[in-house]
Amino acid sequence: MLISNKIHYFRNFMSQNYKLFVNLRLSNKISKRTIMTDTYPTTDKTLEVTYIGHASVMFRYGDEIIHVDPYGDIADYSGLPKADLILITHHHGDHLDSFAIADIEKPSTQIIGSPLAIRELGRGQALKNGEETAWNEFRIRATAAYNRIAMRSPGVPFHIKGEGNGYLLEVANLRIYIAGDTELIPEMEKLGPVDIAFLPKNLPYTMSDQMFVETARLIRPTYLYPYHYFEVDRETLQKALPAIRIR
């Protein structure tokens, strides 16, 4: 699968009146890498977890396909399975990509997202922090995701409390936590047991390496996927978190 390491566009909405675009040039070369899929047996079906890149994840549960934050700058979504459900964490352009959504959407696709994301997209079900819903065999809870330390300008965090979601998915005997764009926040203490977690690791937008490790020690997932990173040293993370399996 072709993965584009070209310019990433992080679209951040600082108010209702204007949009700020931050262009981060990673590379102008297109490279190939193998996207790995992990399988997790449940008491019912097998869950397949595919980390596509950036903040984009795909789950396959039986015949059902769930995409999280599809983003066309890191994959050609026209070649990926169509979605039965799309989860959108927030309204920034590297998470809400209408072109990638169009590539995987079908008439029966359901979309769940933060209120701002759903308003921008113009369709789907909005979930606020703390709200829950059911989709087929899944229970889905929107969790808080925001910055407390990293600020775009004095008093204005990169991610404002209440604007974005993480998601806690429960299916069969598994609990899956997709943190979204967030730092270590008090709400994580109430997550409960987590089997599979996706935690972001990139400054200045989300977590430092140290904060990432502190967060992992707090929520203690069995399996941990670093995501939304510019670079990652899995060997160092594994040494810092010997009781957790780094994927």
Q: How far apart are CA 212 and CA 209, in angstroms?
A: 5
| CA distance from start to end of the chain | 19
Q: Which amino acid is at 205?
A: Y
From the list 143, 214, 227, the residue with the least C-alpha distance to 177 is 143
Q: 212, 195 in Cβ contact below 8 A? A: no
The owner of tokens 């598994």 is 174
* 222 pLDDT above the threshold of 60: yes
Instruction: Tell me what the pLDDT averaged over the chain comes to.
Output: 86
Q: Can you give the pLDDT at residue 203?
A: 80
Task: Give how far Cα 71 sits from Cα of 62, 68, 130, 198, 231, Å.
Answer: 24, 9, 25, 16, 18
Band of pLDDT at residue 81, cut at 50, 70 and 90: very high
Sign of the Cα pseudo-torsion (31, 33, 205, 237, in order): negative
Which pLDDT score, from 0 to 100, does residue 32 have?
38
pTM: 0.85
Q: Token pair 């203690």 is at which residue?
A: 220
| Amino acid present at 43 | T
pLDDT exceeds cutoff 50 at 1: no
Strands (DSSP E) along 25-127, which ranges? 30-32, 37-41, 46-53, 56-61, 64-68, 85-88, 110-113, 125-126
Band of pLDDT at residue 8, cut at 50, 70 and 90 = very low
Cβ partners under 8 Å of residue 7, min gap 6: 23, 24, 25, 26, 28, 73
pLDDT (average), residues 25-53: 73
